[in-house]
Amino acid sequence: MTSYLLSPHVTVFHIVVVVLIRTLSFLVCFNSLEKLVYMLPARQSAYRRHHSTETAVLIVYNDIVRAVDKGQVVPLVLLDLSSAFDTVDHDCLLSVLQRRFSVDGDAMTWFRSYLADRTRTFVAGKDHHGPLPVNCGVPQGSLLGPIKFIAYTEDVAELIAQHGVSCHLFADDKQLYTAVSSDEIHVARQRLTSCIRVLRDWCASRRLQLNASKTELIWFGTRTSLQRLSYADHTLTIDLMDVQPSDVVHDLGFSWTVNAHLNIT
């Protein structure tokens, strides 16, 4: 038989009160978390109920097909971030939660506690180094880590829209596209180049980095429109590197081809 000893100054009543306070505190934080998820951009499909890579790609596919049916051409740019989850600045994240999502009080204390006092140890064979304090990054395999990351980057959708560019996001993967007539290819290039340039500066302000070497570009349109496209400059310049258009690009487990076909890869 197991027995439990209580200090004469601690009664069952005190224990119940502590449990209730912790439960109520958790409910307040959970309510804030639910509100946070609800306030995320409509075109962010990661880590959300009834959303997936399939919905992220199909929304873009629908927009592109409708534009092509109108005789327009559509460049699609796939952007990748380098080690995005590992470079999230904790102070900046807490500021974003407070400023963009009005998280404060117990909920803010909860979020701050989640990030505080984390350490990391590096082990190679018999050698190890650490523990070292961790002041950036969120755990990708946790429940809160991914949600915090997409909250951290939530305002990027507004930034992209300001340049006349459409987008759909899946965690740190970004799909950018814009529809123009076949004689306005230069307009599409200007929109995307300007947008990506501002996006690069925004990433730097959040300690994130665009991986220009993994950027992919593909153009969609009717056969006639694409023939006209071949006579125009339809590359993009990112960080002094020319991104050449491809006939096939890979996106969230799917492959796009220039005839707007989708294949599972």
C-beta of residue 182 within 8 angstroms of C-beta of residue 229: yes
Which pLDDT band, with edges at 50, 70 and 90, does 179 fall under?
Answer: very high
At residue 191, the pLDDT reads 92
Which of 75 and 129 is assigned the larger pLDDT?
75
**Residues of the chain with pLDDT > 70: what percent?**
78
At residue 134, the pLDDT reads 82
Which pLDDT band, with edges at 50, 70 and 90, does 37 fall under?
Answer: low
* Tokens read off for 65: 């097909």
Please say if the pLDDT value at position 260 is more than 80: no
Nearest C-alpha neighbor of 173 from the set 255, 80, 47, 40: 80
What pairs with residue 180 in β-bridges?
73
Please say if the pLDDT value at position 180 is more than 50: yes
83-135 pLDDT, tens digit each: 888 888 899 999 988 888 788 887 788 888 888 888 888 888 888 787 888 88
182-228 pLDDT, tens digit each: 888 889 989 999 999 899 899 888 888 888 778 889 999 888 887 77
Please say if the pLDDT value at position 15 is more than 50: no
Which pLDDT band, with edges at 50, 70 and 90, does 261 fall under?
Answer: low
Angle, to 10 degrees, between the axis of helix 12-38 and the axis of helix 90-101? 80
Residue indicated by tokens 């505190």: 25
Instruction: Provide the residue type at 47 as one letter.
Output: Y
In 10 A of CB 233, how many CB atoms? 10
At residue 108, the pLDDT reads 84
Q: How far apart are CA 7 and CA 247, in angstroms?
A: 74
At residue 12, the pLDDT reads 45
For 24, counting Cβ atoms within 10 Å of its Cβ (0-12 exposed, 13-18 middle, 19+ buried), the class is: exposed
Q: How far apart are CA 33 and CA 60, in angstroms?
A: 28
Phi, psi of 146 (to 5 degrees): -60, -40
Phi, psi of 152 (to 5 degrees): -60, -35
Which stretches within the chain are classed as H helix? 12-38, 53-69, 90-101, 105-115, 144-152, 156-161, 185-205, 223-229
Nearest C-alpha neighbor of 30 from the set 144, 117, 142, 116: 144
At residue 140, the pLDDT reads 73
User: pTM (2 decimals)?
Assistant: 0.77
At residue 177, the pLDDT reads 94
* Tokens read off for 15: 């224990």
